[in-house]
Amino acid sequence: MNVDDDQSLPQSDIDQLIPLNPAIQAYNPSACHTRLCLRTLDAILTTKSISDPNQIFTLSLQAASKHLQNLTSLISSNSAEKADLTFKNCSNFIGHTMSRINDTLAIMRVNPFVESKSDEQRSEMMNWIMAVEEDLESCVDDLRNKVESTAVNEVRRMVSEVQVYVSSSGAFLLSYAEIMQEFSSNSYGGGGDRGMDFELVRSHFGGTETSISISELKL
């Protein structure tokens, strides 16, 4: 990871890098301020079929799940790292995070709109995402004590990218009401009909599933 990856970018630079898409413009302010974040989310943020911030939320979690699967495969394929206590601990953390992310995706699969969830469901998803963030940070802390190597650097990179997906999802979930209000205002001139928007976006999601396949994104 480059030294300046975690440095915040000026808003003018961010505005130039983010597509002029109402859904993305509404989602991004709470999600991305660094080069690492923008680079990681690029495949999602530049997807032309994005029509609602809820899609970015779901795609981010799907991307996190995919990265975690790849991370598990990477550690399992290297016998030296697999036997290392630090990597064993990370593998355990990764297992927990995958389970919680998949639980969150299962709730979203029933209906792909955060605002359609009950307060209890939103609270549960937020708790899972916060727990995922803690597990990933614990993995990162363990890796900080490891001697530099190709495997360690690759695991660090992949965990950092998962952190971006998860933190942006958590930021959206925490501020979804404000984000959706801004999106509705930008999309429908301030008096947007969210009922109409539900039907529009539902067609893009293909009923209850997103029509944008995670396999189509260059992650």
Domain spans, the chain: 40-45+55-216
Alpha helices in 84-188 (DSSP H): 85-110, 119-144, 150-174, 176-188
pLDDT at 85: 75
pLDDT given at position 86: 75
pLDDT of residue 17: 53
How far is the C-alpha of 58 from the C-alpha of 104, rounded, in Å? Answer: 9
User: What pLDDT, on the 0 to 100 scale, is given for residue 146?
Assistant: 76
pLDDT of amino acid 16: 56
CATH number for 40-45+55-216 (one of 1.20.140, 1.10.1760, 3.90.550, 3.40.50): it is 1.20.140
Contact 9, 38 (CB under 8 A): yes
pLDDT in the model for residue 10: 58
Residues of the chain with pLDDT under 70: 1-21, 28-34, 45, 47-48, 79-83, 187-219
The DSSP symbol for 9 reads P
Residue that the structure tokens 């963030």 belong to: 133
- pTM (predicted TM-score): 0.75
Check residue 137 and give its pLDDT: 92
Quick: pLDDT tens for 168-211.
Answer: 899 899 888 888 888 887 765 444 434 323 333 333 333 333 44
